[in-house]
Structure 1
Amino acid sequence: MRGQEWTPHLVTQNFEGDWSVVALRHTAGATHPVMKIYSDPNATAFEDDPLLDRAPAFRALLAALQCPLQAVRLMRLTPGSIIKEHRDHDLSVEFGSARLHVPIVTNAGVDFRLSGTPVPLREGEIWYLRLADPHSVANRGDTDRVHLVIDCTVNDWLLDMLGG
């Protein structure tokens, strides 16, 4: 994505440096870039952003997920930036919403921790992470770290994929 599509993340107290977002799917009716990147926990209707038409591989991946999709974003953390330890209290399977991470670009200097334990997220893998637990990220490398982040509603298909 070109530079003008990246919007700085909203929760400035949770990071240092440059953490920015491109909305590919967002709350229905959102038109302002800030409202597009906001993952409203009370939203019930979502729509694809026209930018998704420029990303056929992402569209194909999303089509393969047989669970209702909510917000879908690219999230970039530039070199030297950190996401401070925090919790996303409503993001776990038992609460009915899951966040999937697909590393698109990463480097050996990225340190993602979940409950203090390093999680080695590699490019092209898809991960469910229980983000209601404490987590943090530091990009100590010299290239951007970009993840496709997919918020979805938990259903039987997703539970089966997660082995539960």
Structure 2
Amino acid sequence: MRLMALGPGAVSNPHSDPKYRLDRGLVRLHIPIITDPGAVLVLDGVEHCWQAGCLWFGDFSREHLVRNTSQTVTRVHVVMDTPLTADLAAWFPDS
């Protein structure tokens, strides 16, 4: 578990993290702590603005980048890389 910050105006390069896949039994979860409407995750070309205080999953084995177009807010997320247990899998929708 770690804190990840992305400052105002920052953007990452598009990349993928192939080891974080449901079928490999390893997932990456995010809890946004500080965010802004201009702080987005672009996953497979689709923009997501995850709300603070909620637990989020993304398939980071797919191409993604993060972009923070805010002029003042640093985006901060708690990021957890964790094994996919049966209890955790039960939180996921069937689809």
Q: TM-score, normalised by structure 1?
A: 0.55
The number of aligned residues is 93
1:92, distance to aligned residue in structure 2 (A):
1.3
Distance 1:100 1:123 in 2: 13
SS of corresponding position for 2:14: strand
Deviation readout 1:128-163 (Å, 9 max, x if unpaired): 110000111111102100000011101111111113
- The aligned runs of 1:1-164 (5 Å cut-off) are 72-141=1-70, 142-164=72-94
Distance 1:96 1:103 in 2: 23
State the identity %: 31
Letter matched to residue 79 of structure 2:
V
1:111, distance to aligned residue in structure 2 (A):
2.2
- Unpaired runs of 5+ residues, structure 2, are none
1:119, distance to aligned residue in structure 2 (A):
1.1
- Unpaired runs of 5+ residues, structure 1, are 1-71
Q: Is the 8 A contact 2:40 2:50 kept in 1?
A: no
Distance 2:41 2:93 in 1: 23
Partner residue, 1:30: none
Aligned Cα root-mean-square deviation (Å)? 0.9
Deviation readout 1:70-101 (Å, 9 max, x if unpaired): xx000000001111110001001111100000
Q: Which has the larger radius of gyration?
A: 1
Runs of 4+, deviation exceeding 4 Å: none
